[in-house]
Amino acid sequence: MWKYTPKVMDHFLNPRNAGELADADAVGQVGSLVCGDSLKLSLKIDPQTERIDDVRFLTFGCGSAIASASALTELVKGRTLEEAARLTDDDIAEYLGGLPEEKMHCSVMGVDALKAAIASYRGEPPPESKHVDHDMVCMCFGVTRKKIEDVVREHDLTSVDQVTHYTKAGGACGKCKDRIAEIIAQTRGEPVPAARPKRLTNIQRIRKIEDVLEREIRPALRADGGDIELVDVEGTRVTVSLSGRCQGCTAAGVTLHNVVESKLREVVDPEIEVVEGN
């Protein structure tokens, strides 16, 4: 359960400026109902001073999303577009007395909606639109490489989990996590981490274990009058049965650990544990 400040709870339970302006001069919309979060920001702007006279929001999301949108409207009302454009997600979080890091994407969404609204007023394309076609990293939440680079720089992020907290990228299917790790390293000027090996299905794991036992373990044991059979595989726990001269041998434990387990860890999975069973 997230721990929210009293001000977050106040803006969640009593949101300010909720609704929509029918005669809005600028509208910014980000997110998607499909992705789980969406925010629409409507602005009424004085054409002479470019001051925001009125603002409304509609959002679909969690309590943090509602509170962040409500806080944003309070922060921008009365400011010029130039002043509003300088607001950051940290400003929203600070105004609310802080947000859990896991919910910072809500304040980021608010700033993105504001930038989109200002761009629409000035007749410009949404800030992220020029990156969408060729720069998409997280297809589940529509997060571009530029967005990830921006949050890494602005908040000195170092891990994939932190990027997920700020953008939601990688928070669904997880297929983009390796690429996110690569972008973090490149943005920070650090060595790119090696790609993680693909996780084997249980059937693939069993087949690979059987192959290693047949090709690399059994011939050596049979040469000494022994043998080995695969009994069961539960995750990384592999149960085998020794027979022939290996059965009851005082060195059986050494064989299991130094030969069988060592080879399976090298070839199949570094977390494999080998035990003897019947």
CA distance 225 to 222: 5
Task: Report the C-alpha dihedral over residues 88, 92, 98, 100, rounded to 10 degrees.
Answer: -80
CA 157, distance to chain mean position in Å, is 13
Classify each residue of 136-167 as buried b or exposed e, where b means 16 or more C-beta atoms within 10 Å of its C-beta. ebbebbbbbbbbbbbbbeebebeebebbbbbb
Instruction: Using the structure block, give the residue that is written with the tokens 């930038």.
Output: 115
Residue 116: how many other CB atoms lie within 10 Å: 24
**Catalytic residue list contains 106:** yes
Q: Annotated catalytic residue: which of 35, 62, 140, 249?
A: 35
Q: Give residue 146's identity as a one-letter amino acid code.
A: K
Q: Annotated catalytic residue: which of 62, 106, 173, 176?
A: 106
Instruction: Using the structure block, give the residue that is written with the tokens 């130039």.
Output: 82
CA distance 180 to 196: 12
| H/E run at residue 233 | strand 226-234
CA distance 111 to 273: 49
CA distance 5 to 58: 22
Q: Which residue intervals of the chain are DSSP H helices? A: 6-13, 63-76, 81-84, 89-95, 104-121, 129-135, 145-155, 160-167, 177-188, 202-212, 218-223, 252-254, 262-267
**Catalytic residue list contains 35:** yes
**Catalytic residue numbers, as ranges:** 35, 106
